[in-house]
């Protein structure tokens, strides 16, 4: 028996607990294992890996497997830093494998526990996202929204002249 499947955060170690009444046994593949000939070896694979425990007793063999899932939450990405006109809103978006999201500060957000809340900050704000996946692994990311005043617009009122046969016609422009 290779034991139950495991979930780890990147860089963490978990212990595999194989049980065998065979005379010889070995874990495969060996990458990420401290000792592939130890029933209670330590595993620290760089990516999700299925390990197989092969036990032999005389001419009989048995095999079982255990999967060590490595969280991909460290690849959390959020909306890039943005400039936003005062009084406007925008959607912040998180892309990752989290099941829980916590944006802070919560002010100016439609839902600080959503993966994609609307943000309406009244001043330049750096939002920090704390994301947690099913295995309890955490990752953070930040996005800064720079709030700027709306640019002034100047309209000029005048006439446009267009030829109409032999006489030019003035067209008034009203704003």
- What are the pLDDT digits (tens) for 3-18? 899 999 999 999 999 8
> Is residue 169 exposed (0-12), middle (13-18) or buried (19+ Cβ within 10 Å)?
exposed
Question: Three-state SS for 74?
Answer: helix
Mean pLDDT calculated for residue range 106-130: 96
- What are the pLDDT digits (tens) for 97-107? 899 999 999 99
Q: Identify any residues that bridge with 67 across adjacent strands, giving them in sequence order.
A: 50
Phi, psi of 134 (to 5 degrees): -60, -25
- Gap between the terminal Cα atoms of the chain: 81
Residue (of 9, 12, 37) closest to 24 by Cα position? 37
């Amino acid at each position: 028996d290779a034991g139950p499947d495991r979930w780890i955060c990147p860089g963490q170690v978990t212990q595999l607990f194989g049980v065998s009444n065979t005379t010889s046994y070995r874990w495969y593949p060996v990458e990420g294992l401290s000792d592939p000939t130890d029933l209670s070896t330590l595993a620290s694979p760089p990516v999700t890996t299925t390990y197989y425990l092969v036990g032999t007793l005389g001419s009989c063999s048995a095999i079982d497997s255990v999967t060590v899932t490595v969280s991909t939450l460290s690849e959390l990405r959020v909306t890039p830093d943005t400039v936003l006109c005062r009084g406007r809103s925008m959607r912040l978006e998180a892309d990752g494998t989290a099941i829980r999201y916590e944006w802070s500060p919560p002010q100016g957000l439609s839902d600080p526990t959503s993966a994609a809340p609307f943000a309406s900050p009244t001043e330049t704000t750096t939002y920090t996202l704390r994301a947690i996946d099913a295995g309890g692994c955490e990752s953070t990311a930040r996005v800064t929204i720079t709030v700027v005043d709306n640019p002034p617009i100047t309209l000029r009122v005048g006439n446009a002249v267009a030829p109409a046969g032999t006489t030019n016609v003035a067209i008034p422009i009203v704003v």
